[in-house]
Each structure stands twice: as C-alpha cells, then as structure tokens.
Amino acid sequence: MNYFFIRKNSSIRYHIGKLSVGWAFLFRGYDNEEGLTLKSFQDWEIFLSDDNITVFTEADEAIKTTTLLNKISQSRTEKRQAVEDNDNKRWCDPEGFVFDRDYFC
C-alpha cells in the first residue's frame, strides 16, 4: 500500500512511501526537492504532525497520521529491504529504514 500527503489548500500529492506485507516501510526521501527535506523517519514524524497535512492511501482514503506512523513503527520487525544503491539514490536512516530518492509505487 502506498501512502501520500497533501498540504491544506493544495491539490498536489506527495509520496510518503510504501508498506508491503513482510517488509519494513520503504520511504520516499526528499533531499531539498520540491521544497522538502525529509531524509529520516524522525523527519517524517515531525513533518506529518503538522495540522496542515492530510495523509491518505493509494485508494484515496484518508488515514490518521498516528495510524500510519504506528504501522511504520510496527514494520521495523519485518525484513529490511536490500539497499542496492548503484546510482546513489537509496540510503538508510539512523533507525534502519530505507529511503529512495526516486518516485516509486
């Protein structure tokens, strides 16, 4: 399942990441792209706590930020993704979550 967010008074949707059964959450990382710098789970936690952010699923169903963050935290016990980084677009944050700089689904 892919997750996205939009900002209040905007229709632009941004990719947060993907949660697949048996895998830890794979984050979409932003490194000063589109005005965003989100390079760790902690960055995302802080950013998504903003009341001007709405989180929703790929099926366009709204989801509480706390619900998504709990799902992400629970996924830590699952397998980790292999970080094959032949083009310098993937990294792990200090908590071991994998980030990808490219859009994926």
Evaluate if pTM is beyond 0.85.
yes
pLDDT for position 100? 87
pLDDT for position 75? 84
Q: Please report the beta strands in the chain, taking only residues with DSSP state E, as ranges in sequence order.
A: 2-7, 13-18, 26-28, 30-33, 36-38, 53-57, 62-63, 90-92, 98-100
pLDDT for position 32? 82
d(CA 89, CA 91): 7
pLDDT for position 44? 97
**77 pLDDT higher than 80:** no
pLDDT for position 61? 97
Return the half-sphere exposure (C-beta side, CA atoms, 13 A cut-off) of residue 4: 17
d(CA 75, CA 72): 5
**16 pLDDT higher than 60:** yes
pLDDT for position 29? 93
pLDDT for position 86? 56
